[in-house]
Structure 1
Amino acid sequence: MTKLNYHKQNFFRNTYCVFKAVDFQSVKDKRPHFTSKSGSKYYYTNEGVYRVSAHWGRAATCRWRLQTDDSTTQNGAKVGFAKWTSFYKDNEVEKLYFIQKSEFTHTYEYFHKNEPAYNSTYILRTAGDTRKVLRQLKTIATETKWAKYIPHDDLEDLRNHYINGLITSNKTLPELRRSYNA
């Protein structure tokens, strides 16, 4: 399967990308090449695109996330840069996504199967299935009431069993419950 080549004429149609946060100085004296209806500004280079925006995540038909370990904003907006090679196709029907813990946010996030971090221990899912599992992971990682009726001696061990099971298998929560201490 050949990878699509993305550029300024096609990167904004049905793509997934993780932009890297950069300083506002990167675009300080530049004029945007395009401004969207929602106010996001785009600056094109030969290597990629800068995006200045107050909203990240779902952008029109795209899934664009900003990878940042600080909170530098200007009027609520942040600047991200992505190389053209960092864009991947996105749709709702193909199994394109896997889940892993982000080294930046320390939460579970979805990533595209064409990213270098992918390996076959992760289960690929459609976008909808990925959203469902992410909701389950958030509950397991942050709450405790779900574990109330599951016999266990160590909550962290139980959490790890569920989290690893959801990320590396197609097992459902009831199946994971049955396999715990089996």
Structure 2
Amino acid sequence: MTKLNYHKQNFFKNTYCIFKSVDFQIVKNKKPNFVSKSGSQYFYTDEGVYRISTHWGRAATCKWRLQTDAETFKNGKKLGFAKWSSFYKDNEVEKLYFIKKSAFSNKYEYFHKNEASYTIEYVLRTSGDTRKVLRQLKTITTETKWAKYIPHDDLEDLRTYLINGLITTNKTLPELKRMY
């Protein structure tokens, strides 16, 4: 399968991308090439696009995440940069996404199958199925009441088993719980 080439004319149509947080000084005194109806500002370069926005995650028909190690805001807005080569196609029907623990945030997040970190150990899912598993992972990692119904001696061992099962197999959470 050939990768689509994204650029300023098509990057905003059904794409997935992880933007990297950058300093506002980069676009200081520059006029945006485009301002969306919601107020997001876009600055195009030959390498990629800078985006200033108050909202990240789902943006219109896109899934754009901002990777930031600091809470750098300017009037509630954050600035991110993404290379054109960092954009990937997105839709609701293809199995495009896998889940793994992000080395950056230390949380379970979804990633596109065309990213370099993808290996065959991870199960590919549709967007909807990925969202469902991410909700389950959040419950497993942040709550404990679900565990009282599963015989176990070590909660962390149980969590590890369920998490690995959810991200590397097509087994459902109830199946994994019964198998433990």
Alignment TM class, shorter chain as reference: over 0.9
For structure 1, which segment, 102-111 or 80-89, has the greater mean C-alpha deviation from structure 2 after superposition?
102-111
In 1, Cα distance between equivalents of 2:28 and 2:148: 53
**1:55-70 map, 5 Å:** 55-70=55-70
**Deviations 1:63-103 (CA, angstroms, capped at 9, x unpaired):** 00001111000011000000000000000000000001112
| Distance of 2:28 and 2:140 partners within structure 1 | 43
Residue 86 (structure 2) pairs with residue 90 (structure 1): no
Equivalence map 1:3-152=2 (5 Å): 3-152=3-152
TM-score by length of 1: 0.98
Once residues 15 and 173 of structure 1 are traced to their aligned partners in structure 2, the CA distance between those partners, rounded to angstroms, is 29
2:178 corresponds to: 178
Match for 1:27: what amino acid? V
Q: Following the alignment from structure 1 to structure 2, what is the Cα–Cα distance between the partners of residues 145 and 25?
A: 47
Corresponding residue SS for 1:131: helix
Shift in Å at residue 47 of structure 1? 0.2
Amino acid at match of 2:132: K
Task: Give the letter aligned to residue 103 of structure 1.
Answer: A
The C-alpha deviation readout for 1:145-176, integer Å capped at 9, x for no partner, is 00011110100000000000000000011211
User: TM-score with structure 2 length normalisation?
Assistant: 0.99
Structure 2 partner of 1:160? 160
Q: Which amino acid aligns with 1:154?
A: D
Runs of 4+ in 1 over 3 A off after TM superposition: none
Identical columns (%): 78
SS at match of 1:148: helix
Question: Could you tell me how far 1:111 is from its partner in structure 2?
Answer: 0.3
